Amino acid sequence: MSSAPAPHPTPVRHHDHGTWLVRFTGRMLVVCPKCGGRALVVPLPGLPEQKYYSDLLFRPRRLACAGCGAVADWTAEERGGGLVGAVPGGTEDPFFRRPLWLQTRCAGRILWAYDEEHVDALAAYVGARLRERHASPTRAMFARLPAWMKSADRRSEVLAGLATLRALARLSAPADRSDAAHERGDRPRHHGSRYFRGGPY
């Protein structure tokens, strides 16, 4: 008889070293455009190893659904001698603009994440009783989280929502799709990120 899984650990202290949201765009769970089940968005196989996390915004992508076999590819738009990078954020993936699979209603809002690693990073931050920042908040993911996710009064509610997302990550059938996972058009506006021969800036 197997024992129940141990509860996810909640750290007392969280150290923010300026992690960017783009770090979690290497693997994204989305709603399949064909069957409505869970599809996966990842960089195309066989690409050279990335040097910086920011490279993830320009790397060609593939959407693939194991359930129905749907496949689609994405490449960055070329403009003015450079590649136009995707912009992460919001409840749609920044490449194919599909609704994220990991979405749930929480505290009257929508809680979302790209994949299990993203969920775990958010849970570590939200669950911490003491949060220490060790980097500029300019593009740091945790510094830019909405106030309701950072509130101590909402901690239990948000952690419960993240547990729901973690459970959703193990599901894949169209019937498993959250009622919150649909198009909202809330992706951020493009910030003009370009990639030239010298690298992204």
Who wins on pLDDT, 175 or 10?
175
Q: Collect all residues with Cβ–Cβ distance below 8 Å to 108 and sequence separation of at least 6.
A: none
Pair of tokens at residue 160: 């419960």
Pair of tokens at residue 12: 């007392």
Each residue's pLDDT tens digit, 106-150: 999 999 999 999 999 999 999 887 766 655 656 688 888 999 999
Q: Which runs of consecutive H residues, i.e. helices, occur in the chain?
A: 116-127, 147-150, 155-168
Each residue's pLDDT tens digit, 23-62: 999 999 999 999 999 999 999 988 777 777 788 899 999 9
- Kindly list the domain boundaries of the chain, sorted by start residue: 13-176
* pTM of the predicted structure, to 2 decimals: 0.83
Which pLDDT does position 200 carry in this prediction? 39
